[in-house]
């Protein structure tokens, strides 16, 4: 008797086993590796290939479980927890973008020295309102160690930070820059600054913030009102770097190589380098790491003449993220990114086929199919994580679609042109500002409509019931 199809998919099955094992550590941590030897011994002498494969999958799952438990133990350790409510002169490195609240500036940082204590621990740094230090800056300040805020207004900051390996908040009134970090992190900082400045020369205010948000996945420069409109309209995913961004970067390099008559054997490594540079510039966001791994593996598969498997690429992206931080499984960005991609793989083609009988153009059918599939798959995540579900995401995405790819393309063109001709880059960015203004108008128009977003259990149950009835009717018609 032949093995079932899911058991014959070797690479995907092995990657899935590791992912499941690492994810299991979030529920229960494994404290011994003896089970690994037991599992390997049980299957090593088996003559049946099916038994050997099952034993290998079990061993990989246990290995992932052990690794995930070890990583979680490492992430849960903190030397600064013992220094709560103490103050010392400290040396820190700003590791992420600065966010301004009503009373202070907040940013992720890494402590290198706290008084006489030499550490390397991530923290959240709080500074007074005013000028903000750039990402990658090495600061000196007298910092007070505090605990993060607990559950408040539906958000538990302490739990959210702990899942990122952050256990304390450092507060400082005065600070000074004493240097810049080096190494790969320093390269990432320089790439981010060049891309950020090159994509928006001459732009300011909301248009600049929106272009930076779409290109770099950072919404810190947007007003609270506009961020809420993007969430309510179902367009907030545009402010998270996705596979579309990475694909456009690679496609731009390949298209330029084709125009210049350069061999694809040279163009593919150039595209791979551009993908890596873009991922370094954007930073460790789940969606961009997943897309970057998929794009890089696709280029390597072409260079080595190997078959491409999008499911295998997706699983390897998940494996890389979970192996570094198993808590990522509980992150909203991770859940939304992978739910959307799986929906594009599974649901979108079927919806596109179903829509062929309607008077819609092919591009509009693709937009509606992808938006509907992603909206259906991400709705449970949005409700569980944010207690709200956008209802008008399909028309909102249809309205915004004509400006999304041009905005990304013009931003990349401006960044590429900036070192050669700053005036031409400024002209391109000015044109791109109109795309940004159009996206903002779409978000405000759709997000400001009544019932654009659900917030109550009664409304959700009602809409879910209507949706299930509609799906049952559509399924019956399709079967006929």
Residue range 46-50: average pLDDT? 63
- In tens, the pLDDT along 98-143 reads 888 778 899 999 999 998 999 989 999 999 988 889 888 999 999 9
Six token digits for residue 462: 């009602």
For tokens 């038994």, what's the residue? 51
Residue range 401-420: average pLDDT? 88
Question: 145 pLDDT exceeds 90?
Answer: yes
User: How many alpha carbons lie under 13 Å from residue 422 in its C-beta half-sphere?
Assistant: 5
Question: 458 pLDDT exceeds 80?
Answer: no
Predicted local confidence at residue 459, as pLDDT: 52
**Higher-confidence position of 470 and 431:** 431
Question: 472 pLDDT exceeds 70?
Answer: no
**Coil, helix or strand for 119?**
strand
CATH class, domain 80-181, is mainly beta
CA separation for the pair 126, 100 (Å, rounded): 10
Six token digits for residue 10: 């070797």
Question: 34 pLDDT exceeds 90?
Answer: no
Cα separations (Å) of 360 from 369, 381, 471?
Answer: 11, 30, 20
Least confident of 278-287, 366-375, 448-457: 448-457
Question: 70 pLDDT exceeds 50?
Answer: yes
Cα angle: 278, vertex 284, 287; to 5 degrees: 80
Residue range 418-442: average pLDDT? 91
Q: Is 103 exposed, middle or buried (0-12, 13-18, 19+ CB in 10 A)?
A: exposed
- Can you say whether the dihedral through the CA atoms of 219, 225, 226, 227 is positive or negative? positive
Compute the mean pLDDT over every residue in the chain, rounded to the nearest whole number.
81
Question: 311 pLDDT exceeds 90?
Answer: no
Predicted local confidence at residue 470, as pLDDT: 54
- In tens, the pLDDT along 213-243 reads 888 887 777 888 888 888 888 888 888 777 7
Question: 72 pLDDT exceeds 90?
Answer: yes
pLDDT tier for residue 38 given thresholds of 50, 70 and 90: low
Beta strand pairing status for 117-128 and 169-171?
Answer: parallel
Predicted local confidence at residue 5, as pLDDT: 45
CA separation for the pair 283, 293 (Å, rounded): 13
> Are 254 and 275 spatial neighbours (Cβ–Cβ below 8 Å)?
no
Q: DSSP letter for 110, please.
A: E
Q: Which residues contact 469 (CB under 8 A, 6 or more apart)?
A: none
CA separation for the pair 158, 161 (Å, rounded): 5
Least confident of 91-105, 179-193, 423-437, 451-465: 451-465
**What percent of the chain has a predicted confidence (pLDDT) above 70?**
85
Torsion on CA atoms 134, 138, 141, 147, rounded to nearest 10: 80
> Are 213 and 223 spatial neighbours (Cβ–Cβ below 8 Å)?
no
pLDDT tier for residue 9 given thresholds of 50, 70 and 90: low
Q: Which residues contact 462 (CB under 8 A, 6 or more apart)?
A: none
Question: 1 pLDDT exceeds 50?
Answer: no
Question: 3 pLDDT exceeds 80?
Answer: no
Residue range 164-190: average pLDDT? 89
Question: 32 pLDDT exceeds 70?
Answer: no
Predicted local confidence at residue 99, as pLDDT: 84
Closest to 294 (Cα-Cα) out of 325, 320, 278, 317: 317
- In tens, the pLDDT along 347-381 reads 888 888 887 777 778 888 888 888 888 888 888 88
Residue range 368-396: average pLDDT? 82
Predicted local confidence at residue 8, as pLDDT: 52
Beta strand pairing status for 99-100 and 104-114?
Answer: antiparallel
Residue range 466-476: average pLDDT? 54
Least confident of 26-35, 203-212, 381-390: 26-35
CA separation for the pair 333, 113 (Å, rounded): 31
**What percent of the chain has a predicted confidence (pLDDT) above 90?**
21
**Coil, helix or strand for 260?**
coil
Domain ranges in the chain?
5-75, 80-181, 242-325
């Amino acid at each position: 008797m032949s093995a079932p199809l899911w058991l014959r998919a070797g690479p995907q099955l092995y990657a899935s086993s590791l992912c499941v094992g690492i994810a299991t550590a979030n529920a229960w941590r494994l404290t011994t590796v003896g089970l690994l030897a037991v599992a390997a011994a049980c299957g090593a002498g088996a003559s049946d290939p099916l038994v050997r494969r099952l034993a290998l999958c079990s061993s990989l799952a246990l290995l992932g479980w052990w690794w995930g438990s070890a990583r979680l133990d490492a992430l849960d350790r903190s030397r600064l927890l013992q220094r709560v409510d103490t103050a010392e002169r400290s040396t820190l490195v700003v590791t992420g973008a600065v966010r301004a609240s009503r009373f202070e500036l907040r940013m992720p940082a890494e402590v290198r020295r706290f008084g006489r204590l030499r550490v390397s621990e991530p923290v959240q740094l709080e500074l007074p309102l005013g000028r903000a230090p750039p990402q990658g800056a090495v600061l000196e300040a007298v910092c007070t160690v505090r605990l993060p805020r607990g559950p408040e207004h539906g958000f538990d900051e302490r739990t959210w930070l702990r899942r990122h390996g952050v256990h304390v908040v450092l507060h400082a009134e005065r600070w000074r820059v004493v240097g810049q970090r080096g190494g790969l992190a320093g390269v990432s900082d320089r790439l981010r600054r060049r891309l950020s400045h090159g994509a928006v020369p001459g732009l300011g205010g909301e248009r600049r913030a929106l272009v930076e948000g779409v290109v770099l996945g950072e919404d810190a420069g947007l007003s609270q009102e506009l961020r809420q409109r993007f969430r309510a309209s179902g367009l907030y995913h545009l402010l998270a770097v996705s596979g579309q961004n990475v694909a456009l970067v690679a496609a731009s390099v390949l298209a330029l190589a084709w125009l210049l008559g350069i061999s694809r054997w040279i163009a593919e490594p150039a595209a791979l380098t551009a993908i890596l540079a873009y991922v370094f510039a954007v930073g460790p966001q789940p969606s961009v790491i997943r897309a970057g791994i998929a794009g890089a593996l696709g280029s390597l598969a072409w260079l080595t003449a190997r078959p491409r498997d999008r499911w295998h690429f997706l699983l390897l992206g998940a494996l890389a993220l979970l192996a570094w931080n198993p808590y990522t499984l509980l992150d909203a960005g991770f859940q939304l990114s992978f739910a959307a991609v799986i929906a594009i793989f599974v649901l979108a083609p079927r919806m596109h086929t179903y829509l062929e009988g309607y008077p819609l153009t092919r591009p509009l059918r693709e937009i509606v199919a992808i938006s509907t599939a992603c909206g259906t798959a991400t709705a449970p995540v949005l409700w569980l994580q944010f207690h709200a579900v956008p209802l008008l995401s399909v028309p909102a995405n249809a309205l915004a679609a004509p400006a999304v790819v041009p905005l990304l393309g013009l931003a990349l063109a401006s960044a590429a042109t900036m070192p050669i001709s700053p005036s031409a880059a400024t002209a391109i960015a000015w044109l791109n500002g109109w795309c940004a203004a159009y996206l903002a108008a779409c978000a405000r128009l759709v997000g400001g409509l009544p019932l654009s977003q659900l917030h109550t259990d009664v409304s959700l149950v009602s809409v879910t019931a209507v949706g299930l009835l509609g799906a049952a009717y559509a399924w019956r018609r399709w079967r006929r």
